[in-house]
Amino acid sequence: MPHGPSAFLAVLSAAILGPPDDPAVRRVRPDPSTGTPAAVVVPAETALLFTSQALAPSEPTANPSPDQLASEVLDRLDFALRAVGSGLDRAVRLHVVLDDPGLLPALRSTLAGRFPDGNGPGLTVVVGALPRPWLRIAADAVATTDRDAVGRIPRAPVSISVLPAGPRVFVSGQAEPADDLATATRETLLGLAETLDHLGIGADQVVQLKAFYAPGDSAEVVEREVIAFFEASLPPPLVLVEWESDLPIEIELVAAAPGPGGDGPIDYLETPKLAASPVFSRVARVNRGDLVFTSGLLGPADSDGVGQVGAIFDELAEILGEAGGDLDHLAKATYYVSDDDASRALNDLRPRYYDPERPPAASKAQVPGVGPPDRSLTLDMIAVVPARSSQDP
């Protein structure tokens, strides 16, 4: 019989009767071998939960196997979600940071065991340092919920926010140069606050921050600055990803938006102080339409950057077509690259796929790895299934 924190959490999770799978949520290309689909389509009227990272192992002296690590982190996330009326069975996206790509097979097999029909959440994996030196794996999730009011739900050690149905805003990563990580974090948060103020959104509407930061052993600096910035209220869930950059930090965010917006499904917005780009928008505001969360897409093994980029975008177009969307209704992209060749190819080729008048909000981070060691690029996307309306572009 299994023992330890993972087994304890698994028993507690099973004891709390969570809701069944959402019948209106649709999986695209479910893969029983990994337990995950290529994409998950979420109805527009569905509220969502965004979490901080669940972490494993629980003790600095623990030495669990890869399978035990994967089970422990998923149990922790499931327990936190079930405590607020959701569950891992209602997750639509799982974002995982591994300290070693060798943990990926165990993660996939564990998910396959839990979701034998492939109807689990979409999965994105990145490799890098974890927030504490003894940690091996971190996972955050987006899940559906029956709650309908924006707000933050403290659940130590996993915090959770509610993103209600209605307009949502995805703000691209912003970065302010500074000589040290603490100053850069403060200045970047101030810049994001200016962006939110321009959009008419309060800080209490933010449901998740994702920070790409360096050096990897400085997570506590970022955590401390975020807590100080939101001192008047509970800070939103924070996701930390080590990156390789001359800039100490870049931070993106998700927030609820005041309505109504424009006539189309998505408004692509710029900000007064930041330069516009033909390959990403500073802000994407989703006004209406079902959301499509893709898994982290990968190109062919041992391919160069050009080959990976082309294959990923071709697959993205096919997946979105099956979901009812297209490349003209992209809301938020995350690009993880692990070498300069993939980074250059992405910069060169993505203008071929994006309408320069409506590119998605995006963050691009160079990281130690993207999961499989024979790949150097992964992309995940949030897209919109446009509502059937004569006003659609």
Q: Are 381 and 295 in contact (CB under 8 A)?
A: no
Domains 1-7+25-165 and 289-386 share a fold: yes
Measured distance CA(369)–CA(126) in Å, rounded: 6
| Bridge-based pairing state of the strands 206-213 and 249-256 | antiparallel
3-state class of 366 per DSSP?
strand
Instruction: Write out the H or E segment, with its range, that includes residue 371.
Output: none
Phi, psi of 229 (to 5 degrees): -65, -40
| Bridge-based pairing state of the strands 266-269 and 249-256 | unpaired
Q: Are 134 and 125 in contact (CB under 8 A)?
A: no
| Residue 143 token pair | 């899940």
Mean pLDDT over residues 233-241, rounded?
96
Condensed to tens digits (0 to 9), the pLDDT of residues 89-99 reads 999 999 999 99
Asked if the 289-386 domain carries CATH number 3.40.50.410, the reply is no
Predicted model pTM: 0.93
What is the domain partition of the chain in residue ranges?
Answer: 1-7+25-165, 166-259, 289-386
Condensed to tens digits (0 to 9), the pLDDT of residues 295-330 reads 999 999 999 999 999 999 999 999 999 999 999 999
Q: Is the pLDDT of residue 231 over 60?
A: yes
| Residue 176 token pair | 């302010």
Phi, psi of 387 (to 5 degrees): -65, 150
* Cis amide leading into 351 (omega within 30): no
Q: Are 100 and 127 in contact (CB under 8 A)?
A: yes
Condensed to tens digits (0 to 9), the pLDDT of residues 338-387 reads 999 999 999 999 999 999 899 999 999 999 999 999 999 999 999 999 96
Measured distance CA(371)–CA(98) in Å, rounded: 8
Domain 166-259, CATH homologous superfamily name and number: RutC-like (3.30.1330.40)
Asked if the 1-7+25-165 domain carries CATH number 3.30.1330.40, the reply is yes
